[in-house]
């Protein structure tokens, strides 16, 4: 971490429509030999892009991303040696971003202050040891850009008649430029990125362009994605192209109601020459674009969609003989990509896009298989801990927490500890430990994990149940009315107590692992007390769990709340409920991620497969039958008649319900960690559901683990690769466990065995 900052946080005296440009020009020091090193560090209030003589300092966009700015403002570091010239202009563009733009659904903005500002420091080291420092200070100049409006939710307006790249190159600042002011700023808040920046990933071409029933031009990119459009266009000066973005069509027109108040509209004014437009100061969640004002016939080669998200490395893959299931898995992956844009958000399109903790609490294991999310989530966990510390140990519903400001501005409830959501403090570090085997995540988060657990402990009733306070419970139970997602069948106190048991147990295990014997004992006792209370108050002798619905049995089984006999009974009851419901989903946010596991663990694998492969609504595959290319917030975000669900919360890109991918990877794909980080790996595919083959691959920290299985006639053949230094354990239906040394193996067993 940089401890020496000589630079000032500077802000333009004039705001220049929320998208100012800042520059300084400097000559490289002479007589000191070659440049050995040139390191540029930049951070800002608002989002920035940095240029040296017109060339971008790095591939990142929307930097410094979104963190809990009150305590952690991240800076990017660039090696700019190759971009230096005898005379160089260091130019920085700023925009509202998360700091000053709109956040949340109440129309509020500027949660972190109303000034845009930047701090930058370039240190050049020469062959003779001389150092030259170029820093933001009051000699910098600021001026207007061609961006006339920008907001992450609402979109960007660019007037190409105002575009002039001259500001990026040596020479006097263009006319109309003014001064800057140094703001009061505590550089202790600055912290390096530990995760990856947000970058452009790929470009997607339109698959169809046509006229809607009302005569509007619509473009389909074939995939619900997150980013923006870019294109070069020429037309009469002053012509305005307006682009609206939407995830779905309704009655043949762009369906924008799910965006709520987010405008998601970009406007481009033509200069008369060939104009290149790319609105990098906003982002949209969309599959379709509605374009008006295009000056000529619009063809599919004229524009492309740019996919934007954090620069994560893909590590996990799955494929099988069922194309619908493959599409579901692709939807999970795209849902994750769209929402891992610096912060793990609930959704990327409407006036929300917040880091809801509960969504990640359940999705973290799936995410950690699909991509290397280690540093990405560890960065987010630091924000979680910072917010928690500032709020008396309450882990908020969203991180970074802007809802805490809403309590002052609106009637939003005060921050409270909420089961499953606040449990992210424990479940997410544990998922990272399991996936990557790096115990420093547990060490780093230990204070946060234990503080959360102690806080819930203090909220327990004398009965040792968590039966007080606000709970979201089994949020979005499909049988709850669309306008009342709290109204789940599952008793929210049963859900809360079950979640807390899992939390206390996990923290006891963490303490044990880190050699904190006192804590291990304490949290082990707490867990034991809660488990006993759960059984005493919520479980009847015949095994009925209070509120007798799929979610409560699921949580009781998977979180280990019941003894062997009761677990078996709960499994049978769960299986009966799942059957009774025609294999349609009957669980909400708490139950859905674990219901297939609960069935599998209690000997009801066939039910798990039937549930997974069901196509009627609500089910995982119903959206696939409706052409979904991402995971939806509601099973029926799009109703069977093609109209959009009337509920207020109807996103078409919400990763939470994609958490079943974790079960798919472990149970169909057959790859599960037996020891953290897959130092020991369980190879245990469980064929079923009529699938004839499946493959799973995971790039673990030790190397590639691969499983391919196929059923031919009466034989199940499993081919697997175990990396060097890793022990595999193969568990196949009807066969005793066997250890596998590293290397490739092919094993055939009778398929009827299990
Ligand atoms: C979000 C969810 C979130 C929930 C909790 C919604 O608005 O989109 O994903 O977890 O609220 O209340």
Instruction: Please name the residue whose Cα sits nearest to atom 11 of ligand 1.
Output: 356
Residue 156, C-beta contacts closer than 8 angstroms, at least 6 positions apart:
147, 149, 150, 266, 267, 279, 281, 282
Measure 421 CA to ligand 1 centroid, in angstroms: 10
Instruction: Please name the residue whose Cα sits nearest to atom 9 of ligand 1.
Output: 346
- What is the predicted pLDDT for the residue at 485? 76
Task: Give 234-249 pLDDT, tens digit per residue.
Answer: 999 999 999 999 999 9
Measure 346 CA to ligand 1 centroid, in angstroms: 7
Measure 216 CA to ligand 1 centroid, in angstroms: 33
Residue 706, C-beta contacts closer than 8 angstroms, at least 6 positions apart:
695, 696, 697, 698, 719, 720, 721
| Residue to mutate (ligand 1; options 356, 424, 470, 589; most atoms within 8 A of CB) | 356
Tokens of 162: 């105002």
- What is the predicted pLDDT for the residue at 753? 45
Q: Which DSSP category does 618 fall into? A: S
- What is the predicted pLDDT for the residue at 606? 98
Averaged pLDDT score across all residues of the chain? 96
How many Cα neighbours within 13 Å face the side chain of 319?
A: 4
* Degrees to nearest 5, angle at CA 750 with 747 and 753: 120
CA separation for the pair 151, 612 (Å, rounded): 39
Q: Is 119 exposed, middle or buried (0-12, 13-18, 19+ CB in 10 A)?
A: buried
CA separation for the pair 234, 686 (Å, rounded): 58
Inter-residue contact 122 to 165 (CB < 8 Å): no
- What is the predicted pLDDT for the residue at 43? 98
Task: Give 378-432 pLDDT, tens digit per residue.
Answer: 999 999 999 999 999 999 999 999 999 987 666 667 779 999 999 999 999 999 9
Ligand 1: lining residues by beta carbon, under 6 Å: 346-347, 352, 356, 358-359, 472, 475, 649, 654, 656
- Residue 564 in this model has a pLDDT that exceeds 60: yes
- Is 70 among the residues known to form the active site? no
Measure 358 CA to ligand 1 centroid, in angstroms: 8
Predicted model pTM: 0.97
CA separation for the pair 254, 275 (Å, rounded): 26
Q: Once rounded to an integer, what is the mean pLDDT over residues 734-738? A: 94
Task: Give 505-534 pLDDT, tens digit per residue.
Answer: 999 999 999 999 999 999 999 999 999 999
Inter-residue contact 271 to 336 (CB < 8 Å): no
- Taking each helix axis from N to C end, the angle separating 424-436 and 357-370, rounded to the nearest 10 degrees, works out to 10
Count other Cβ atoms within 10 Å, centred on residue 745. Answer: 16
* Strand order through the sheet with 727-730: 671-673, 680-683, 727-730, 738-740
CA separation for the pair 521, 89 (Å, rounded): 61
Inter-residue contact 683 to 718 (CB < 8 Å): yes
User: Catalytic: which of 25, 290, 352, 699?
Assistant: 352
CA separation for the pair 70, 405 (Å, rounded): 12
- Is 181 among the residues known to form the active site? no
* Degrees to nearest 5, angle at CA 104 with 103 and 109: 40
> Collapsing DSSP states into helix, strand and coil, what is residue 211?
strand
128: left (phi over 0), alpha (psi -120 to 50) or beta: alpha
Q: Give the nearest ligand 1 atom to 654 CA.
A: 9
Q: Are strands 217-234 and 208-211 parallel, antiparallel or unpaired?
A: antiparallel
| Residue to mutate (ligand 1; options 346, 476, 485, 499; most atoms within 8 A of CB) | 346
């Amino acid at each position: 971490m940089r401890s020496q900052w000589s630079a000032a946080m500077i802000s333009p005296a004039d705001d220049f429509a929320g998208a100012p440009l800042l520059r300084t020009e400097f000559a490289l020091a002479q007589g000191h030999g070659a440049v050995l090193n040139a390191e540029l560090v930049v951070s800002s209030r608002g989002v920035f892009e940095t240029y040296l003589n017109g060339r971008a300092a790095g591939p990142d966009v929307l930097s410094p991303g979104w963190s809990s700015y009150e305590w952690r403002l991240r800076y990017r570091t660039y090696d700019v040696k190759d971009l230096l010239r005898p005379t160089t202009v260091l130019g920085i563009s700023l925009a509202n971003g998360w700091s000053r733009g709109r956040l949340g659904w109440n129309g509020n903005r500027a949660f972190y202050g109303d000034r845009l500002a930047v701090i930058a420091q370039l240190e050049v080291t020469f062959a003779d040891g001389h150092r030259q420092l170029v820093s933001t200070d009051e000699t910098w100049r600021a001026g207007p850009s061609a961006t006339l409006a920008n907001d992450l939710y609402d979109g960007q307006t660019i007037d190409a008649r105002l575009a002039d790249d001259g500001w990026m190159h040596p020479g006097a600042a263009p006319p109309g430029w003014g001064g800057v002011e140094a703001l009061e700023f505590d550089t202790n808040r600055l912290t390096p990125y530990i995760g990856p920046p947000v970058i452009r990933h790929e470009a997607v071409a339109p698959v169809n362009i046509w006229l809607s029933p009302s005569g509007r031009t619509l473009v389909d990119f074939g995939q619900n994605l997150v980013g923006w459009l870019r294109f070069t266009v020429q037309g009469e000066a002053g012509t305005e192209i307006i682009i609206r973005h939407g995830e779905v069509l309704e009655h043949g027109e762009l369906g924008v109601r799910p965006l709520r108040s987010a405008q998601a509209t970009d406007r481009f004014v033509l200069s008369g020459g060939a104009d290149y437009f790319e609105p990098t100061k906003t982002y949209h969640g969309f599959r379709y674009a509605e374009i008006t004002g295009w000056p000529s016939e619009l063809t599919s080669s004229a524009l492309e969609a740019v996919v934007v998200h954090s620069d994560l490395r893909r590590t996990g893959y799955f494929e099988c003989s069922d194309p619908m299931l493959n599409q579901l898995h692709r939807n999970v992956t795209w849902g994750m990509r769209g929402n891992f844009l610096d912060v793990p958000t609930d959704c990327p399109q409407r006036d929300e896009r917040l880091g809801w903790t509960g969504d990640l609490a359940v999705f973290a294991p799936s995410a950690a298989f699909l991509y290397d999310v280690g540093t990405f989530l560890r960065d987010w966990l630091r924000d979680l801990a910072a917010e928690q510390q500032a709020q008396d140990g309450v882990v908020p519903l969203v991180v970074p927490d802007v809802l805490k400001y809403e309590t002052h501005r609106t009637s939003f409830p005060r921050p409270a500890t909420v089961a499953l959501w606040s449990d992210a403090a424990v479940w997410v570090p544990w998922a990272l430990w399991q996936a990557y085997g790096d115990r420093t995540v547990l060490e780093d988060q230990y204070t946060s994990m234990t503080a959360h657990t102690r806080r819930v402990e203090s909220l327990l009733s004398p009965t040792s149940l968590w039966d007080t306070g606000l709970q979201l419970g089994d949020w979005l139970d499909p049988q709850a009315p669309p306008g009342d997602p709290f109204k789940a069948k599952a008793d929210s106190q049963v859900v809360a107590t079950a979640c807390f048991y899992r939390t206390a147990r996990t923290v006891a295990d963490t303490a044990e692992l880190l050699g904190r014997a006192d804590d291990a004992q304490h949290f082990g006792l707490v867990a034991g007390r809660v488990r006993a209370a759960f059984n005493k108050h919520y479980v009847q002798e015949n095994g009925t769990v209070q509120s007798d619905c799929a979610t409560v049995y699921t949580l009781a089984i998977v979180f280990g709340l019941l003894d062997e006999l009761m677990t078996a009974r709960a499994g049978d009851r769960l299986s009966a409920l799942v059957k009774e419901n025609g294999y349609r989903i009957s669980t909400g946010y708490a139950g859905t991620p674990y219901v297939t596991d609960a069935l599998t663990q209690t000997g009801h694998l066939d039910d798990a497969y039937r549930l997974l492969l069901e196509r009627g609504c609500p089910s995982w595959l119903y959206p696939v039958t409706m052409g979904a290319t991402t995971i939806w917030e509601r099973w029926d975000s799009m109703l069977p008649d093609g109209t959009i669900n009337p509920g207020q919360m109807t996103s078409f890109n919400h990763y939470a319900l994609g958490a079943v991918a974790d079960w798919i990877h472990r149970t169909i794909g057959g790859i599960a960690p037996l020891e953290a980080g897959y130092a020991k790996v369980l190879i245990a595919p469980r064929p079923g559901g009529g699938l004839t083959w499946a493959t799973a691959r995971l790039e673990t920290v030790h190397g590639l683990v691969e499983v391919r299985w196929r059923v031919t006639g009466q034989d199940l053949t499993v081919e697997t690769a175990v990396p060097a230094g890793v022990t595999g354990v193969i568990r196949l239906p009807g066969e005793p466990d066997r250890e596998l040394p590293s290397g490739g193996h092919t094993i055939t067993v009778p398929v009827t065995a299990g």
